[in-house]
Amino acid sequence: MGKIGSFTHVSLDGFFAGPNGEIDWFKPGDEEDRAFAAAASGGSGTLVFGRTTYGMMASYWPTPEAREEFPDVAGVMNAAPKIVFSRTMGPVKDGPIWKNVRVIRDIGRDEILKLKRAADRDFVILGSGSLVQQFARLGLIDEYQLMVNPVILGAGKYLFKDVNRTNLELLEARPFRNGKVLLRYAPV
């Protein structure tokens, strides 16, 4: 059975995007970030996106620039199985580089649990703050990875909006030289 994890950049005050969806506040990556991304992408999980994040990822990772700057990560991103949760997107055909995309229309607890039980690999929600909210409300996330960026936005799209109280256990706290901190938590 696969586990469901999430990896989300957040501001210090808990927003995953600015008021208009902007993410220009993400702290730029450095060599330490690149090494972390390369190591983290070594798994064989299924990548999970909402429609907006999927569009951003699909427009970047298959490009020559992405394959040159982040060859390990681009290789995984391009080849890994992908699930996009969207009510508006149609089916996606494999491109020459960006492959293995499945679109699912609805997020139902029973359907997700059935998908999870049948899986021989883990799932990771990348970004997709509204998807993290929906999965968290249904109690479907086994591990939260939050990359806290050293910025206070003051307003924006709050990651845990309308999510019920959930007690968490700290699995890891890792500071980065550029001021970011990775926090990994699992529900108790």
- Residue closest to 141 by CA, chosen among 107, 187, 96, 179: 187
DSSP alpha helix (H) spans, 8-103: 31-40, 51-60, 64-69, 71-79
Q: Which residues lie across from 135 on neighbouring strands?
A: none
Q: Per-residue pLDDT tens, the chain, 188 aa: give them.
A: 889 999 999 999 999 999 999 999 987 778 888 788 877 776 668 999 999 999 999 999 999 999 998 888 888 889 899 999 999 988 888 888 888 999 998 888 998 998 888 888 899 999 889 999 999 999 999 999 999 999 999 999 999 999 999 999 999 999 999 999 999 999 99
50: exposed, middle or buried (C-beta count within 10 Å: 0-12, 13-18, 19+)? buried
Q: Where are the beta strands (DSSP E) in 22-149?
A: 46-50, 82-85, 101-104, 123-126, 143-149
